[in-house]
Amino acid sequence: MNIAINGQKIKISEEKTILEVARENGIGIPTLCYMKERNNIAECRMCVVEIMSRPGLYPACSTYPSDGMEILTNSTKVISARRKALELMFADHVTDCTNCSKMGLCKLREYASIYGVDDRYYGVGKREKLKDNSTSFLVRDNTKCILCRRCVAICEKEIRVTAIGVNQRSTATNVGFGIELAKTECISCGRCIKVCPTGALNVADDTKRVWKAIYDKKIKTVALLSDETISNFGEFVEDTNHDVANKIVTLLKNIGIDKVYRLSDFDSYYKQQKKIAFEEKRKDEMILDGMCEGFKYYLETYHKELKRFLLEIPDKKTMLAELLKRDCDIFVINIDNCVAKKRRTNESIDYPIDVSITTRELYEIYVRSCVSTYTAASVWECLSEKEPDRLPDELTKCAHIEVEEERDVTIIDGLDRFEQIVINHGLLKYMRVRVCPEGCKSGGGGYFMKE
Ligand code: SF4
Ligand code: SF4
Ligand code: FES
């Protein structure tokens, strides 16, 4: 089949939508509601295109080309329709952008600037306020919702929880939890936050607690950073070279954090401890690795009977926090992409981690602190050097020990895959299940999901 997009001749052999063909050929088309294989409801009308010799406009995300079709993606008609679609979204949107939790990261705002939209063309949105801050990890602000239903699709089709959904009908239609989030079966994966293009869903803000600890002269602050956080932060600051880690450590030291540890330095010690725990449990018919906090919430909510198979060992950052706190009065700040870790930290008593912030909150700190991350090089604290940190002996000794890689562990990323495996093959001997489909690097507190 031969088609033309903006005059560019394209040959197609497989069945694909206009959007897919355009993107594969380097032609950009804006989208808000579309998510490949997950949400194809053609609701927002941002992706409309003109098809020559046909009346009207067509959503590229759900229209399939036919032979000889000539498509225009940026005609005057198309631009004006996109502008109108945006104006209508703003008509039902409380536009207090300067005070919005998505700061400069909102897709709606970005498109409004690109298409020169007057966000008050139809007056100021008066959507009924349904703010839900009933949990310690997620904040829902209904006044920012554009009803794209990406969150609904991800929760239902990928996480298989259905904690968030569409309520009521017609002009009263709203997306939300129906009841307070705290009363739902949400497992706090945060994947809905990751796909929300506006400020309607966001992580609960714990940055104030970080600042408070920093400014308390009696408190010694220690930050723990994972490699996933480092690469994800690079996406926020649009820098993917190897220097991002140094930029983060410089930022943290410059804002007043006393010590910064890199979690990967703790790998050898942790593997050794895990091996011991594994040997103790070896006789069990099945072992579940409990390093994913979201998976533990999933078991607590849906499969309590499987909890007894969990390996009895804290996850890496919790264990490191425990060790660092031994004999030391410090305030531990965990920074990663995990929203479930934030929940565990905020809802547990006597937890070794004092506060968990997501990479997104780290980015907020970066923006608000106005600290240049390019100045004076700062250094990571080294786990293998005992002085002056008074680190526990066994940790300093083990920091560089080579430990055999784990064998026979089946890594399963995504609950849909876990359920498929359990349904089709029964439980495997040793499984490490991570709720997020690409593991911790795709956690809900990280950069927004890319198409
Ligand atoms: S945090 Fe996860 S489980 Fe909870 S509503 Fe969002 S996607 Fe669903
Ligand atoms: S909460 Fe966000 S992702 Fe969900 S429907 Fe509203 S704007 Fe879309
Ligand atoms: S992206 Fe096609 S209609 Fe929303």
Gap from CA of 19 to ligand 3 centroid (Å) = 9
> Tokens representing 46?
């941002």
Distance of alpha carbon 205 from alpha carbon 220, whole angstroms: 21
Supply the pLDDT for residue 392.
Answer: 61
| Predicted local confidence at residue 40, as pLDDT | 92
Q: Which carries the bigger pLDDT value, residue 250 or residue 64?
A: 64
Residue 168: pLDDT above 90? Answer: no
C-alpha torsion 309→310→312→317, nearest 10: 170
* pLDDT value, residue 94: 79
pLDDT at 50 over 70: yes
Q: If you measure from the C-alpha of residue 316 to the centroid of ligand 2, how many angstroms do you get, rounded to a whole number?
A: 33
Q: Residue 173 has what pLDDT?
A: 80
Please say whether the beta carbons of 370 and 351 come within 8 A.
no
Going by CA atoms, what residue is nearest to atom 1 of ligand 3? 31
Order of all β-strands in the sheet with 201-203:
131-132, 138-141, 201-203
Q: Which pLDDT score is estimated for 95? A: 77
How many Å lie between the centroid of ligand 2 and the Cα of residue 114?
Answer: 21
Instruction: Give the residue with greater pLDDT, 184 vs 128.
Output: 184
306's CB contacts (< 8 A; 6+ apart) are 288, 299, 427
Lowest mean pLDDT: which of 96-105, 218-227, 429-438? 96-105
Amino acid at 70: E
For the chain, percent of residues with pLDDT exceeding 90 = 51
pLDDT of residue 242: 64
Say yes or no to pLDDT of 401 above 80.
no
Q: How far apart are CA 53 and CA 302, in angstroms?
A: 54
**pLDDT value at residue 111:** 94
297 C-alpha vs ligand 1 centroid, how far in Å? 11
pLDDT of residue 386: 47
418/420 Cα distance (integer angstroms): 5
Distance from C-alpha of 341 to C-alpha of 332, rounded to nearest angstrom:
13
Residue 246 has pLDDT above 60, yes or no: yes
pLDDT of residue 426 exceeding 90, the answer is: no
CATH of 119-203, one of 3.30.70.20, 3.10.20.740, 3.40.50.2300, 3.20.20.105: 3.30.70.20
Select, from the ranges 96-100, 232-236, 334-338, 432-436, the one with the highest average predicted confidence (pLDDT). 334-338
DSSP β-bridge partners for residue 203: 138
Q: In what order do the strands lie in the sheet with 220-225?
A: 259-262, 220-225, 330-336, 355-358
CA-CA distance, 307 to 298, in Å (whole number)?
Answer: 10
How many C-beta neighbours within 10 Å does residue 298 have?
A: 24
- pLDDT tens-digit readout, 298-350: 999 998 988 988 988 999 999 999 988 887 889 999 999 999 999 999 999 99
Measured distance CA(236)–CA(209) in Å, rounded: 22
Whose structure tokens read 């999933």?
298
Instruction: Compare 427 and 163 and report the one with higher pLDDT.
Output: 163
What's the pLDDT at 277? Answer: 87
Residue nearest to atom 3 of ligand 3 (CA): 42
Q: Is 220 exposed, middle or buried (0-12, 13-18, 19+ CB in 10 A)?
A: middle
Give me the mean pLDDT over the 173-192 stretch: 90
Q: In angstroms, what is the span from residue 54 Cα to ligand 2's centroid?
A: 32
**pLDDT at residue 51, as a whole number:** 97
- Classify burial at 446, counting beta carbons within 10 Å of its beta carbon; exposed 0-12, middle 13-18, buried 19 or more: buried
Please report, rounded to a whole number, the percentage of residues in the chain having pLDDT higher than 70: 89
* Arithmetic mean of pLDDT over the chain: 87
Distance 340 CA to ligand 1 centre (A): 10
Q: Reduced to 3 states, what is the DSSP secondary structure of residue 220?
A: strand
Which of 17, 31, 451 should be mutated for ligand 3, with most atoms under 8 A from CB? 31
Helix 267-281 vs helix 316-325: crossing angle, to nearest 10: 110
Supply the DSSP symbol for 354: S
CB distance 191 to ligand 1 below 6 Å:
yes
Distance between CA atoms of residues 81 and 79, nearest Å: 5
Which residues line ligand 2 at a C-beta cut-off of 6 Å?
145-151, 175, 195-198, 200-201
Q: In the structure, what pLDDT confidence band is assigned to residue 243 with cuts at 50, 70 and 90?
A: confident
Q: Which residue has the tokens 């994800």?
A: 232
Q: Please state the rounded mean pLDDT for residues 85-101.
A: 85
Q: Is 259 exposed, middle or buried (0-12, 13-18, 19+ CB in 10 A)?
A: middle
**Ligand having the closest approach to the CA of 19:** 3
DSSP class of 275: H
Closest ligand to Cα 60: 3
Per-residue pLDDT, 118: 77
CATH no., domain 207-268+314-398? 3.40.50.1780
Of the candidate ranges 49-53, 200-204, 386-390, the one whose mean pLDDT is the lowest: 386-390
pLDDT in tens, 264-295: 888 888 888 888 888 888 777 788 888 899 99
Amino acid in position 118: D
Mean pLDDT of the 426-431 span? 77
Pick the CATH number of 2-74 from 3.40.50.300, 3.60.10.10, 3.10.20.740, 3.20.20.150: 3.10.20.740
Predicted local distance difference test score (pLDDT) of residue 153:
95
Q: Could you say which ligand is closest to the alpha carbon of residue 22? A: 3
Q: How confident is the model at residue 222 (pLDDT cuts 50, 70, 90)?
A: very high
Q: In the chain, where are the structural domains located?
A: 2-74, 119-203, 207-268+314-398, 283-311+405-441
* C-beta 435 within 6 A of ligand 1: no
Hey, what are 144's tokens?
């920012």
The string of pLDDT tens digits covering residues 348-394 is: 999 999 999 999 999 999 988 877 665 555 677 766 554 445 556 66
Give pLDDT, residue 387.
45
Lowest-confidence region among 119-133, 223-237, 394-408? 394-408
Question: DSSP string spanning 39-95?
Answer: B----S-TTEEEETTSSSEEETTT----TT-EEESS-HHHHHHHHHHHHHHHHTS--
Nearest CA to ligand 2 atom 8: 148
> Side-chain half-sphere of 380: how many Cα atoms within 13 Å?
17
CA-nearest residue, atom 6 of ligand 2: 145
